[in-house]
Chain A
Amino acid sequence: MFGGHFYHATMRKSVAVFGTLFNNINVIRKAADGSILNQVKVPLSYGPKEKFLARLDQEHGRNQPVALKLPRMGFEITSLSVDSNQKLSKLNKIIEDHGSNVTKRKAINNYTSYDIGMSLYIMAKSQDDGLQIVEQVLPYFTPDYTVSIKPVDNFDFKQDVPIVLNGVNIQDDYEGDFATRRVLIYQLDFTMKMKFYGPTGDAPIIREVDVDIIDLTQFEEDVAAAIEGGTSLLNSQSFAYTIISADNNNYTFETGANDREGTLENLADPTLNIFNGDTIAITNSLAPNHPLQIENGRGDVVASESGGTLTFTPTTNGTYYYQCTSHAGMRGLIIVTDNYLTQAIDPDAGPIIENINTAVGETDTPDNFTATTTIKDNNARRLSALYNVTVVTTVEGESENQYALNGTNAPDIEFISGYTYTFDQTDLTNVYYPNPNGSTFNQHPILFSDVQEDLQEDQSPDDIAYDEGVSYFIDGAAVTATAYYDQFNTATSRQVQIVITDDTPDLLYYMCINHTGMGGAITLITSTAADEAVVALEQSAEEDGGY
């Protein structure tokens, strides 16, 4: 199951590291007068050894003339146990750069901690020698001494290896008969805290990240333009380009071409920004020279020129290239992203498109936008809506008239607290209908009231009018209600605006001050309900392909 092969020589390195700590210890012997008679660097060896090698190393092909040379040190591994105190997360990985290769990274997925028991033995002929060695070791271990190693070849990360001195034993067999030699051995027991590493490998790296960032200002402009100019920005578009010259290094595009970001400014190998689903059509006027093709980020050809033209409709976001098949340098970027105008917008994160539901009755498709849309930032949540008010005949052939809001006859509408609604009566049917425009006046000024019953003949508008937050505009200038009625037929533009707050009555009515039966009810949605309405609206928009 584990398979493969890897070996980082961890124990071998542990032995060498441990040996290095003690490989430069000296012992000196003094005369009675304090002068130094002898200085010895203490030999050190790893205890376990092939016996024949020991014979080869020490006897040099002759009989060893002495029993042993002292002082000397030896050490050995005494134990290997899991270090539960250094429990590591199983998700930890070691990742490093791969040198010059930026397409991948070196990785080690598995490693674990172990305690390696080490014992250092010091054998000396005299206590003074042994104690000199011991004393040159002990002060560094408090009780640990830490060295840093690079535990895995070809990796640069470092590992601290604490080496803990657990205790010292002294063996001094000085008693007994004379024929028995005295043996003086100091044993120092250590624990090395090592880590064992698993196989090394290559980890792929994230080479391409698609980030959709909305430029709020641009977004507002785009949405406004989309709604004002119809739905062209919201739908897929075609962009046509003509290559008019080339110099083996660059294609030069004809001036005036657009992409989703506007008119191309740089015409030499320009970067083309389009939305997923858009179509680009490139005409190569130089054909058959400099035939071009389109490649994706992996170098696969996804479209090729045919008969001097090339069309490409991406269905996947990403970075593409148009590329001359003859000249490597003739190459430009095509950046394909989602049409962010069609994306659902998080009400907590992005801007709100206002008065989406001003297309009364049908609120959720772009086709229903007939009102001017204003964008506000999300914090303000200030929405405004504009109703184009016309006056129409209720039933074909009869004389009863009604207001039509954005083309819908006398709808019952919903207002949301915090929103501003504008009823634009500029249309001349408000002044003349059903009489032909320019003939006899038959005026239909709007009145807001919290009374359902229309204005009676014995009432003045003030008797039933709801005027909190209501403003009247004649030719763009704010006027009183009375002035609005007085100047209604002579004005060029006529608007009534109402600002809805939490204090606005839950139910209002809009009506004509002169005629009955023309208006409808206005229901106020509370702020919570309004939020839900907005969310519902957005969800609806998303399901339908957006606004």
Chain B
Amino acid sequence: MPRNVYFSQAVRSEQHLYEDLVIESLKIFGQDVYYIPRDLVNRDSILNEASTSTFNDAYLMEAYIENVDGFEGAGDLYQKFGLEIRDEASFVISRRSWNSTIGSYENLNKPQEGDLLFLPMTNSFFEITFVEADKPFYQLSNLPVYKLTCSLFEYNDEEFDTGIDIIDDEIGGEAYLTGMQLTVTGGNHFTQGETVTQTLVDAADDTPAVQIYGTVQTLDKTSTVLGKIGVSNIGVTGASDYRQFLVSSTNGLVGSESGNTCYITQIYDVGDDDADNFMANDGAAQNVAFETFTDNFLDFTETNPFGDPSENF
């Protein structure tokens, strides 16, 4: 037997009123968050994972944090990989706000697992692990909110170019950096955040140029002729194998925005006994410490005939 048709819960005006009240409550009691959608750059169709993602937009919206006594989750843990913070939180956002703010721009129907929320209050990045779309459950025959279950983001050196400084700077402080020293001409330094490119192999008739590029995350203007930068998100075009920046007085490093050209005089590597410049953003990394300490007693006077990793083929 069907329901009574003379009584309807799905009165649009009531639904709107209810949704307005929800949004107002969220705006009053919620927090500003940036919704950062994920761009899937490459998907591994064999191993079924997003091998590369970038985050290129950020949308400010209101969200209510359900947790009242702090974040959920296991909290701050120390384990063999270092300090891990397993904060979890549930964010409630309005469907209408999300659709009007994000969905229409990103051509999405609902928030996606894998997208990020940046919470400026705590400077934390949360990754949406689960989108609860039907709670509370059709109280006025509609669903006014999404409940986003999130955990603190595990950063995998994804590139962030949202245009929101607070976001880009914050994540830039976590990026894997390659430090290098430069000679600068006439004080024409690079600018922070720009992409710098070095041509490794010039283009030929039938092959493109091989170029290596990266984003300037840290910038130290030592003098008008010297500088030190930390470059993150290093990529290569024109080749598909591992390449490195070259120390060169002829192949200059060219800034995409400043247009300045500088020349690399030193690239800090694991053997350079300078933890401040190598893996500068990763205080837990001991790569340099091991290398430096073992220099005192590791013996390389005899080559290893059974497979020397440093051997040149």
A residues near B (Cβ < 8 Å) are 13, 16-17, 19-20, 23-24, 26, 28-32, 34-41, 43-49, 51, 54-60, 62-76, 121, 123, 125-129, 139-140, 142, 145-151, 153, 158, 177-181
A-B contact pairs, 15 of them (CB 8 A): A24-B270, A30-B42, A31-B52, A36-B242, A54-B82, A60-B283, A63-B123, A68-B83, A69-B156, A70-B154, A72-B285, A74-B81, A148-B298, A150-B299, A153-B297
CA–CA, A145 and B301, complex, Å: 17
Nearest CB in chain A: distance from B198 CB, A: 13
Would you call A76 and B80 a contact (CB within 8 A)? yes
CA–CA, A142 and B80, complex, Å: 27
Nearest CB in chain B: distance from A130 CB, A: 10
Which of A57, A121, A139 is within 8 Å of B81, CB to CB? Answer: A121
Asked, given contacts A43-B284, A58-B83, A63-B123, whether A37 binds B52 with beta carbons under 8 Å apart, the answer is yes
Number of A-B contacts (CB under 8 A): 245
Contacts of A69 in B (CB 8 A): 154-157, 174, 176, 282
Which of B84, B149, B173 is within 8 Å of A67, CB to CB? Answer: B84
CA–CA, A51 and B84, complex, Å: 11
Would you call B297 and A149 a contact (CB within 8 A)? yes
Contacts of B33 in A (CB 8 A): none
Cβ-based interface call for B47 (8 A)? yes
Would you call A36 and B243 a contact (CB within 8 A)? yes
Nearest CB in chain A: distance from B306 CB, A: 7
Would you call B129 and A126 a contact (CB within 8 A)? no
Cβ-based interface call for B286 (8 A)? yes
CA–CA, A180 and B309, complex, Å: 39
Would you call A179 and B84 a contact (CB within 8 A)? no
Contacts of B240 in A (CB 8 A): 30, 34-36
Would you call B156 and A19 a contact (CB within 8 A)? no
Would you call B299 and A16 a contact (CB within 8 A)? no
CA–CA, A149 and B47, complex, Å: 40
Would you call B235 and A67 a contact (CB within 8 A)? no
Q: What are the 5 tightest A-B residue pairs by CB atom distance, in nearest-first order?
A: A57-B283, A47-B80, A43-B285, A19-B290, A178-B130
Which of B42, B122, B291 is within 8 Å of A63, CB to CB? Answer: B122
Kindly supply a per-residue 1/0 record for chain B positions 149-167, scoring 1 wherever the CB is within 8 Å of any chain A CB and 0 otherwise: 1011111110100000000
Would you call B153 and A40 a contact (CB within 8 A)? no
Cβ-based interface call for B313 (8 A)? no
Would you call A17 and B298 a contact (CB within 8 A)? yes
- Residues of B within 8 Å of A, CB-based: how many? 78
Residues of chain B in range 261-300 having any CB-CB distance to chain A below 8 Å: 269-270, 279, 282-291, 293-294, 297-300
Nearest CB in chain A: distance from B17 CB, A: 32
Cβ-based interface call for B143 (8 A)? no
**From B42, which residue of chain A is reached at the shortest CB distance?**
A32
Would you call A23 and B87 a contact (CB within 8 A)? no
Would you call B149 and A35 a contact (CB within 8 A)? no
Would you call A65 and B174 a contact (CB within 8 A)? yes
**From B157, which residue of chain A is reached at the shortest CB distance?**
A40
Cβ-based interface call for B238 (8 A)? yes
Would you call A44 and B287 a contact (CB within 8 A)? yes
CA–CA, A67 and B42, complex, Å: 23
Contacts of B50 in A (CB 8 A): 126
Contacts of A35 in B (CB 8 A): 235-240
Nearest CB in chain B: distance from A247 CB, A: 52
Nearest CB in chain B: distance from A281 CB, A: 60
Nearest CB in chain A: distance from B146 CB, A: 14
Would you call A142 and B294 a contact (CB within 8 A)? no
Asked, given contacts A16-B293, A127-B47, whether A179 binds B239 with beta carbons under 8 Å apart, the answer is no
Nearest CB in chain A: distance from B203 CB, A: 15
Contacts of A23 in B (CB 8 A): 270, 286-288, 290-291
CA–CA, A56 and B283, complex, Å: 8
Which of B85, B123, B237, B306 is within 8 Å of A145, CB to CB? Answer: B306
CA–CA, A139 and B309, complex, Å: 10
CA–CA, A40 and B41, complex, Å: 17
CA–CA, A62 and B85, complex, Å: 13
CA–CA, A70 and B154, complex, Å: 7
